[in-house]
Structures are given as C-alpha cells and as structure tokens.
Amino acid sequence: MNSFETFKHLHKNTAPLLIGNVWDVKSAEIFQTNGFRAIGISSQAISNALGYPDGENLPFDELLRITRRITEVVDIPLTVDMEAGYSRGLQGILENVEKLHDCGAVGINLEDTLPGENRSLVPAASFAETVAVVAEHIAKRKLNIFLNIRTDAFLLGLANALEETKKRIRFYQESGANGIFVPCITESIDIAAVVQSTSLPINVMCMPDLPGFKTLESLGVKRISMGGFFFNKIYDHAGQLARKILKEQEFSSIFS
C-alpha cells in the first residue's frame, strides 16, 4: 500500500487512529520514532511556531514549504489542517488542495466556519456544496487525498450543538466527505450519538474532559487528534525551564 492507502486503511481498524499533531520536521520525527502511525499539521501549532495567530494568518506558502519538507523526511502519512481552505472562492480552495497533494499530504481538514474575530458557521447547505465540489475535484483528478470535514457547533458552544452537528454530518456525507471531525465534543452520550448518525469515521480532539482512548474505541470513534495542545504543553515546559535557568543562574535543570 502507498501512504494514502495506508492512511485510509488506518480509519477502518477497531482501535482509533491516534494522530500526532506536528508543526515542523523535528516534531514529525519524534512522533514517527515513538511509534505513531500517522501525523497531522496543526494549524494553531504551525502558526504559533512561526509567529502568527491561528486563523489563516500563516502565509500559505509557508504551510506548503513545511508540508513538503516533512514528507521528504518522514515515512508515515501526513494530513494537513487547511482551515477554511485559505480562500473564500472555490477555485482557490481547489488549487490549494492540489498544492498540498503535490507536497505529499495524503489528507486535509476543511472546516465549516470562517476564521476571523468572530468565527461563524457557514450555512450547512452552502458548505455542503463546497464539500461536493472539492470531493468531485479530488475524484476527477485522482488525487490521493482523504477529505476530513470539520464541523464546529461544539467548538462554538451552540446550545443545539448535537442536533446541528448531526444535521451537518448528513449534508457532508451526502456530499462526498471521507471523514468527519468534531472538535470540542467530550460527553460520551454525544459522541455515541454522532458516531451512530453516520457511516463515516468520526474524529475527536484532545480536550480536558475527553474520555480515555479505550472508552472512545467502545463508542466507535475512529480517529483522535491533539490540535495544538501537545505544542502548547511543550512550550509551557520550555518557559518553565527558561525561568528556572534564569532564577538559579546555572544550567543544572537542563540535565536533571
């Protein structure tokens, strides 16, 4: 199997696929060396690592450059968070999907909210049309891309998040999505309801109240990702270490 086929197959196992979310070559190498079977570029992590706020503020060329470099160095499949597509026009989104494919990505996340000061959901029917065009383009051009659609009702904290999510999943499944990503969902009853609402693999994300992996497996979750939390923890620790060196006026804490 090639990398794309391997990635698709990893969504069909009983145990969920655990994605190591990366922001550069070294983080990708760390996950590969330590047994992860796939990795994904986190938009928040890569943006913050390069000095940009999340929300499509990172120049797309930078995302392409790092995507290409990671896939040149690591052997495990790489998927990329392309947020809302880095374009408000369909043609621009399609071109960007092709560029990521050409850089070696075997998957993308595409979300149904628009970035900005006040993140807002795109109407479900309208975004489903976008999904359909992207899915058709991927099929027509025979691109090896797993289309993971992110739906953000739980992320936005909507009062009717579960019903809105299930409604949108129906739209996106019919439009040709390969998988569904529901960030910020944490309650087992909600996760089970989402899983049961579709035949597509469901992706959940690291959150403080997210159940353990075995519980998620029993609920039928097929993919688990980290978002920017792993990145944040690494740099929180780096900040603590930097303060300790300054306070102690020696380097012993580096070696302890």
pLDDT tops 90 at residue 7: yes
Looking at residue 1, its pLDDT comes to 83
pLDDT tops 90 at residue 157: yes
Q: What is the pLDDT of residues 27-80, one digit of tens each?
A: 999 999 999 999 999 999 999 999 999 999 999 999 999 999 999 999 999 999
| Percent with pLDDT over 90 in the chain | 97
pLDDT tops 90 at residue 208: yes
Whole-model pTM? 0.96
- The chain-wide mean pLDDT, for the chain, equals 97
The strand ranges marked E within the chain are 17-18, 20-22, 39-41, 78-81, 107-111, 113-114, 120-121, 146-150, 179-181, 202-205, 223-225
Looking at residue 117, its pLDDT comes to 80
Looking at residue 169, its pLDDT comes to 98
Looking at residue 2, its pLDDT comes to 96
Looking at residue 122, its pLDDT comes to 97
Looking at residue 256, its pLDDT comes to 87
pLDDT tops 90 at residue 248: yes
Cα Rg for the chain, rounded, in angstroms?
18
- Provide mean pLDDT across the span 191-217: 98
Looking at residue 116, its pLDDT comes to 82
A 10 A CB-CB count for 106 gives: 24
Q: What is the pLDDT of residues 108-140, one digit of tens each?
A: 999 999 998 888 899 999 999 999 999 999 999
Map out the domains of the chain with their CATH numbers: 3-228 (3.20.20.60)
Q: How far apart are CA 180 and CA 75, in angstroms?
A: 25
- Provide mean pLDDT across the span 248-256: 95
> How much helix, strand and coil, in percent to the nearest 5, is found in the chain?
50, 15, 40
Phi-psi sector, 77: left (phi>0), alpha (psi -120 to 50), beta: beta
pLDDT category, 180, cuts 50, 70, 90? very high
pLDDT category, 202, cuts 50, 70, 90? very high
